[in-house]
Chain A
């Protein structure tokens, strides 16, 4: 035998999963929401999505080059960040503001902390909050959606989001199919749920975080006297619960960690919605829980097979 053999420690077989494949699944899962955005707000949504995705990928490429590190745009994570950020913006936002958001997400939050897997908060979410604080009026200017109820219109070009609108303006069906004001990706609840089901079936995400998040939010709504179903279907709650809170890097890896994390997200989301002077609380609550992830993980180390807790007073 002349050919040289490869030698390496076991295992010698590898599974078929890849980072790129997972990211591709997330992109596929976001497609219904993106398509719904184009239908509801017109093709301007598609332009916004294209701007954000292209900027994110470009910035990722440039920042890796400047830092003299391997290019990572092939793993598609920058595409996911761009797509998520776009879905979190109002349709008529100035593209420059959107691009500034991409800069915050990719360069400041993601690459400066070491790139994929190292960011301590969700890049798209952090960028959204920076934009919300920096450009409040642009970020909360909602154009009327296709077929939205007349009563929701504030004037010819502005509509109220379900959370700011008077009770009774939007029906559950309006919320489900996206006949309401809001960020382009958050309005159509049905599309988001479809994407979430896809992710769970493909085993990209575990259903623990979305289910516990939504469950906690529903219970909290009852406690503070809000309509649970209306709260779940409106605003960014579904987008947050299915796509933001389940971000691998910024959510716990342990099972009970996921539960604690999701309970915290649900609790703070509704608390902020009910009592803060901002209409929306999802971004802030997920961001807050992101920061707590290392502590939650440390407290929820799973019991290894055969591990017996030493009883107090037992002999050594």
Chain B
């Protein structure tokens, strides 16, 4: 195998927009939130098969005790984030509108650690995968893909590069930035573990150049004796949205392109969020599973924007009250970043594993506009990081034109929202493309169903 080189500067990526950074919380120490009176842990906090509760109503649980799990490969177990009594198991409405079971635990305020918790013994890759699975880790950057699946690279894929995603290109969010500043040693020790067990000899930490202090902190460790062969390098990339999108980050860090419909492993890359890798290091040291996470609480309506380390399942209302409450009634409440996050109908939902921010935006920040006619300025083409034609895709979606959607590669749209952000006519481009993608999937399902029907005759 040819020697892998490290890029001196990032490869060129196309498109993107200059969204306002608004990283107000970057220089504030994270605060740890005490146990709330009650937590609710939904059975889907990851992409994949939902978990099934393994505790009963009325049972007493300890912090870190597994309370739900699944035998499916693509899934991640769920652990109690507080100690106390299981109050009820009831359906709740998730931010995306789906109804799923959630385990409600009434906290006894003791935060009593489960006696079963001990650091896992990891001697081989399969030990590591088992440990990661048991830790309940999912991608903490927002997507929530189970980490044990991600690390379980199929034998036919040749992955030679580990990319650590610290781009954090969404406005407002600084949880990854704070993770580095507060836990930089965890980050590096997690990287070393993963790279040793997966036999990867090139680790690129892709970080936006608007975090000079984090770049410095990581460089100091990466250049020290912990990395004698100099296989870990920090690569500052241009601060522009959406540099942290997996496919864009791979292009910027390695120059490779993930094939349409493919996975990062098809481009020889494994991309992990910095929060995930730091958690992994801590888990291997302490054995405490994923029961809390750092999230940014910010927005024009928040009195005291800050990063909070909150138990998973904490009601959003409690988190906001903990940081000092609302300054003014919010116009929009968003779970995640303002470009790709989900707007919530109320603040009575709960913090999820993959939830990196809660933003309470004012009307000034998140104003809705009435769309006007497309003037065909082509700015959406320039902004699209995937080099698609959003205006044509949105038109095809509006017409219900499946062939048109296929012709313009609708499925390669990652829904970053740059087109809708830039559009001078304020058209709902990405929103329509999303509908178009749903239409395509429906057509595909119908075609398969029709074929099956035909086969039976």
Contact = CB atoms under 8 A, between A and B. Distances in A.
Q: Do A and B bind each other?
A: yes
Interface stretch (B122-130, B268-276, B416-424): B416-424
Interface-centre pick from B331, B332, B341, B376 (highest chain A CB count, 10 A): B376
A7 interface: yes
Given A11-B338, A15-B422, A304-B409, A3 B372 contact: no
Interface string A244-258: 000011000110000
Given A5-B345, A7-B344, A303 B387 contact: yes
Nearest to B340: A10
Nearest to A254: B381
Contacts of B412: 304-307
A18 interface: yes
B271 to A, nearest CB: 15
Contacts of B342: 10
A299 interface: no
A1 interface: yes
A5 B424 contact: no
B391 interface: yes
Contacts of A155: none
Interface stretch (B31-39, B149-157, B252-260): B252-260
B17 interface: yes
A13 B407 CA distance: 29
Q: What secondary structure prevails in chain B residues at the interface with A?
A: loop
A15 B387 contact: no
B381 A302 contact: yes
Contacts of A222: none
Contacts of B367: 14
Interface stretch (B69-77, B103-111, B195-203, B426-434): B426-434
Looking at A11, A14, A18, the one whose CB has the most chain B CB atoms below 10 A away is A11
B424 A7 contact: no
Interface in A74-116: 75, 77, 114-116
A75 B371 CA distance: 12
Interface in A301-316: 301-308
Interface string B383-410: 0011111010000000000000001110
B377 interface: yes
A305 B338 contact: no
Contact of B343 (A5, A117, A303): A5
A19 B372 contact: yes
Contacts of A306: 247, 257-260, 262, 412
A301 B100 CA distance: 42
B318 to A, nearest CB: 12
Contacts of A305: 14, 247-248, 251, 257-258, 385-387, 412
B406 to A, nearest CB: 12
Interface residues of A, number: 40
Given A1-B347, A8-B368, A22-B377, A13 B20 contact: yes
Contacts of B340: 10-11
A241 to B, nearest CB: 18
Contacts of A9: 343, 428, 430-431, 434
A6 interface: yes
Contact of B329 (A2, A75, A206, A254): A2
A22 B332 contact: no
Contacts of B373: 72, 114-118
Contacts of B262: 306
Given A72-B372, A117-B425, 17 more contacts: A1-B326, A1-B346, A6-B332, A7-B332, A10-B339, A10-B341, A10-B415, A12-B366, A75-B372, A115-B373, A248-B377, A253-B377, A302-B381, A302-B388, A303-B387, A305-B412, A308-B259
Interface of B: 14, 17, 19-20, 171, 247-248, 251, 257-260, 262, 317, 326, 329-334, 338-347, 361, 365-369, 372-379, 381, 385-389, 391, 407-409, 412, 415, 417, 420-426, 428, 430-431, 434
Sorted nearest first, the 6 A-B pairs with minimum C-beta distance are: A11-B417, A253-B378, A3-B329, A17-B424, A306-B257, A117-B373
